[in-house]
Structure 1
């Protein structure tokens, strides 16, 4: 019980009323959720012409230096995840990435782009994504994809086609 009491005392010491009559937690402004104030602050910062729809991580790192409220990180993540413009940009970025991958395959392997779709799908689904901390294949199946792709001696060249890719799955 003593540990819990000492933690509560330390937590209470972190709260203070500033000289400007603003409640603070560790020198950050405490923001009550009155009249949806927290959401309005997030919306204003996210839609600002000076920041242009920052991601949730950037917003949280900036906010945590100024504001405090219980669940602030979660609220920011949920707001950004629901932002229509941010989702549209993500889709456009994905499309652009896939287009670039298809162009590279056509240049490297020649032929029609639709011949290379299985390679593109394999490559895209096995690329690491920081947002989920793993490749989509691993997230979906709980294991890394078996692949014939590896590090080889300089000078040796291996060309894997769609058939090899399908066999490795």
Structure 2
């Protein structure tokens, strides 16, 4: 016999409880506004504190962020001003290596300039860290970093070149 709750569950997730409800809620754990909030917090903190503990404070993937930061600094790439958000999209979780699921999130396409005037176009992907806090995957946005499964045009990021003085 079909119960009322079973009928409602087909039409909506309202009757779900326990682990199933948690799964439904985490399909897109990050909203567009949450991604914009992470970017705003990051920009405000950098304005106040510079790059001190940047990856630890803002990244869901600290080792990847630290590698990207080292590369950016080795090329003398520093952001100039606040980037513009030129596009935005949800990113669904996918089955990852080893059978687990990757975290979904939200990607903001950012456009801006480095201190030496070069243009960048980057994918700023916001997901959750291990404590379920919203964090940018690799928040070194001024380097033209791209997200392989971003729903934007393929190969549409722009990567600035080495900006250090002298032969490069």
Q: Which TM-score tier does this pair reach, normalised by the shorter chain?
A: under 0.3
Which structure's relative contact order is higher, taking Cα pairs within 8 Å and 6+ residues apart? 2
Question: Which is strand-richer, 1 or 2?
Answer: 2
**TM superposition score normalised by structure 1:** 0.26
Specify the structure having the higher radius of gyration (Cα).
1
